[in-house]
Amino acid sequence: MLNLDCPLLKPILILEDDPSAQARIHNILKTFGYLDDDLFFSQTIEKAKQIHEQNTIGLFLVDLNLPDGCGIEFIQSLRQRHEQNVPVMVLSAWNSIETIYKALTVGARGYVLKERDDVEVMFAIRTMLKGEAIIDPGIAKEILKKLHLTQIRAEISADANIQANLSSRELEILNFIASGFSSREISEKIHISRFTVDVHIKKVYQKLQVNSRTKAVHLAKQIGLLS
């Protein structure tokens, strides 16, 4: 059985318009030891704001799909009032990564899907009561996957920028460097002065952010400038 021994943040404001979901949350919170007087239920954002203005809330449980707007707007309004330390947990059926990102960005510390069973929801609430953050395991997996893809795209974009920044002449000289040609030999091959070759090599170093031929060739191969 889940250990529910944790400090109780009081009162709790539950922003949820579905009566059956309200009843479920009510029963879960009673299991923690909350009394009816510790709980405020609201079906709309407007009423939740009124309750909040009249009471010092210890924890917010917020749904997103509400009759008068999105719960994200409510969370944002809390943070705009400089209430950074009041924990907010989203309990919603919405599982799109974009929505989850937005909720977390505006200030939610937890995000749990309604489809989870009571024990999982209880674990999430206990985590919030202990001052920690909680993200639904299924959501966390998708977020990590998206972060990984974002990192890969950023690396590809950076590599493409490097390749785009190198002129055709610089790429030509880089290939000669990779083949082991000296500056004098390169100058003879492409009929420009050795001084001009060295200027091009210096620019290649600057654009690749390296300081030697070996490093330039190694990096160029890593990012696909050289085969």
pLDDT in tens, 81-100: 766 678 999 999 988 888 88
- Per-residue pLDDT at 179: 92
**Confidence check: pLDDT of 158 > 70:** no
Q: SS3 of 159, please? A: helix
> Using CA atoms, how far apart are residues 115 and 42, in angstroms rounded to an integer?
21
- Per-residue pLDDT at 164: 46
Scanning the chain, the segments in alpha helix (DSSP H) are 19-32, 45-54, 71-80, 97-106, 118-129, 137-165, 168-178, 183-190, 194-208, 213-222
Q: SS3 of 71, please? A: helix
Tell me the pTM.
Answer: 0.64
| Neighbour count for residue 136 (Cβ, 10 Å) | 23
Percent of the chain with pLDDT over 70: 86
pLDDT in tens, 39-57: 999 999 999 999 999 999 9
- In this prediction, residues 63-80 reach a mean pLDDT of 92
Integer CA distances (angstroms), 45 to 9, 14, 54, 67, 72, in order: 21, 11, 14, 8, 10
Which phi and psi (to 5°) does residue 215 adopt?
-70, -35
Q: Which one is predicted more confidently, 59 or 144?
A: 59
> Using CA atoms, how far apart are residues 83 and 156, in angstroms rounded to an integer?
39
- Per-residue pLDDT at 140: 67
